[in-house]
Structure formats: structure tokens, C-alpha cells
Amino acid sequence: MDNKVMYSLSYGLFVLSARRGDKDNGCITNTAIQVTTEPNRIVCAINKSNYTHDMVQETGRFTLSILSEEADFELFKRFGFQSGRDVDKFAGFESHVKRDGDGLPYVTRGANAWLSCRVVSATDLGTHTLFLADVLDGGTISSAPSATYSYYQSHIKPKPGAAPAPSAQKRWVCKVCGYVYEGDELPADFICPWCKHPASDFEPLA
């Protein structure tokens, strides 16, 4: 099978946020979907290497900010290209954050709605954990259309090569998030440090 067929699946985009003690954190996800209406439940898959994953697993709580077409690339860089283990992703972002009734943060910039969720079960998928969760609360933030993954690819993510850095080395770009690898050869077992996709999702840059 040509794995590119998987690119035809459609996804939304979200900031999934958690709070453990006084620590707020969140990561970009594209894997949240509603699975039942009665009760109102969603699932989302979070990579086990994400700091947010551990926070959700321990607290059993998270919020989802549903991203709209007004979301900018800065938002994706803040929540999707760095880890809460290394930085405070919410620092300097206070004016774009609100909290649910239990104090969990959700992002209002570039989002059109938010959900507050409680984990019902966690299924080990190997690289990811699939969290099934009850939707406890939520609200509307704006009327802007929800962003799809393909909208992100075509309108939000900078075009590969838009600002090439002069280099004597070969370069490969991650087709998923735009990360550029430089070196003699792209290792076959390379994992994108930004979006965790494998070497097969990279293509050579001229």
C-alpha cells in the first residue's frame, strides 16, 4: 500500500492542555474526535513522549481548544514545536488564556471553542495512549471556521524553502510540520523532533 493514502484522512487541530499542581502545559494534537453523543465523549491520541501525556495520565483531566482558521504559525510553534519539560508554554501568553471551573487552562487565541474533559479510560497504543474522555463543559470563543489539518498545511505552515538558510549540507523537510533536517544523510530511524513523524514523512529540499 502507498502510505500516502493516509494523507487523505481529514483531521481537526487542537491545543490539548492540562494542569498538574501549579504547572500548566499543552500540546498541539490532530487526533481528537467525538465518538458518542450519549454520553458526550471524545477520544484523542497523545504521544507518550509528550510532557502533556504524563500530565493527563496522572490528573485524568484536560481541556481542548478547537483551533480555527485564525490560528497563526506562532501558536503551533509555541504548543507543537517545544516541550513543557523545557519551557513554560503559557509564559507571556496570559491574555490568550482562560480557565475552566477547575482551573485548567484553555487557549482563546486562534480558537473557536473549548471543551473540558475527564478521562474515562486510557488504552496503550504503543507509541501513543488513546484517552477516552467525558466532555464535562465547554463554550464558544469565536465564529471563525475550524481549522483542518489540510488548511494548516496549505495556509498556516510556512512553505518549505520560504526562508532557506545557506548551507553546504543536504536538507530534508518534514512534510507534516516543516522541520528541516540538515546532514549528509537522513537516518532511516530519524524521528521528527517537532511532530514525532518518521523519516518516511520527510522529502529532500533542493
Q: Which lies closer to ligand FMN via its Cβ, residue 42 or residue 177? A: 177
How many CB atoms sit inside 10 A of residue 31's CB?
Answer: 18
Q: Which stretch binds ligand FMN (CB under 6 A): 96-104, 136-144, 162-170, 191-199?
A: 191-199
71 binds ligand FMN (CB under 6 A): no
C-alpha cell at 28: 498541539
Q: Are 95 and 137 in contact (CB under 8 A)?
A: no
Q: Pattern of binders to ligand FMN over 26-65, x per CB under 6 A?
A: -xxxxx-------------xxx--xxx-------------
Distance CA 114, CA 101 (A): 13
25 binds ligand FMN (CB under 6 A): yes
Q: Are 161 and 130 in contact (CB under 8 A)?
A: no
Burial class (CB in 10 A: 0-12, 13-18, 19+), 48: middle
Q: Which lies closer to ligand FMN via its Cβ, residue 45 or residue 120? A: 45
Q: Which residues sit at the interface with ligand FMN, rule CB under 6 A?
A: 25, 27-31, 45-47, 50-52, 76, 80-85, 152, 177, 194-196
